Amino acid sequence: RTQQPNGAFGEGQFGRSVAVTSLACLAFMADGNMPGRGPYAEQVQRGLNYVLDQCNESGLVATDSANSPMYGHGFATLFLGEVYGMTQGGPDTALASRTHQALVRAVRLIEQSQNEEGGWRYNPVPFDADLSVTICQIMALRSARNAGLEVSKDVIDKAVQYARSCQNPDGGFRYQLVAGPSAWPRTAAGIASLYYAGIYEDRAIDSGMKYLFATAMPGRMDMQAIHYHYGHYYAVQAMFLAGGDSWARWWPALRGQLISDQGENGAWNDPSHGSEYASAMSLIILQMPKRYLPIFQK
């Protein structure tokens, strides 16, 4: 109901956002919908067309009015990678070709804009970095690699080192390399970044997981807290990839909390980013065990 005529999603200051549009389409795809397939095929197709229309010659995927465009670029590249990975060949050849071209340019821009520390920042220039933007790019690169694109190992190795360097002694992760407090949302992002870089057993992951269970266990916190949906989007991925007891403890608690918070109109709300963003994030989380999206397949 909330998709705009041009295919975009997003409201308020996040209107016509490639990030929210990409996340909304990923939410549909997490239930098996794709262009040409599924009851919401049209919505995914329109969203994909909108994102492809925002691809610039430089490779950046962003609207002209976008602030902090590398956030949206990361989510959009992830979306393109998942679409390409699920539509190669057959009747979707033309769509796959257009998506492939955009994806290749988007990946090259990510590689070229990594800074000397190994991370990324708000704009596609290699001058600064923070962990939040960095994990967006790592997930995008993993999705592209899963879909068959060549991704620089050196870029990934530097990104891993950057993420490691952002961890505090308490197991939590700070925002940048400079000294700062730990916070659970970026800790979840930090753990996920290591997993998506191909690191599955590590002391950094173990201490980070302990920090998450101590500070962010679902059911013990206000769902309207800032970065709630962002944090759990990454936390549930970390728990899923960890598996075992971590998943068994985290997943039922988070699932129950999200279901109880759904509004009568079907939406979830986020005080900072709006209901379309919160609903997309919640649906991606709730549908993760289906593993339809390649990025969530172990």
Q: What would the pLDDT profile of 157-190 be if each residue is shown by its tens digit?
A: 999 999 999 999 999 999 999 999 999 999 999 9
Name, in order, each residue with C-beta under 8 angstroms of 81's C-beta and a sequence gap of 6 or more: 103, 140, 143, 144, 146, 147, 149, 294, 295
Q: Give me the helices (H) in 114-243, please.
A: 131-146, 153-165, 184-196, 203-215, 228-242
Give percent of the chain with pLDDT exceeding 90.
85
Q: Which amino acid is at 71?
A: Y
Question: Global pTM?
Answer: 0.95
pLDDT surpasses 70 at 15: no
SS3 label, residue 289: helix
pLDDT for the residue 89? 54
Tokens encoding 178: 């400079």
pLDDT band at 298 (very low <50, low <70, confident <90, very high): low
SS3 label, residue 8: coil
Name, in order, each residue with C-beta under 8 angstroms of 181's C-beta and a sequence gap of 6 or more: 168, 172, 174
pLDDT for the residue 93? 77
Query: Residue 294 carries which DSSP code?
Result: G
Contact of 183 with 172, CB cutoff 8 Å: yes
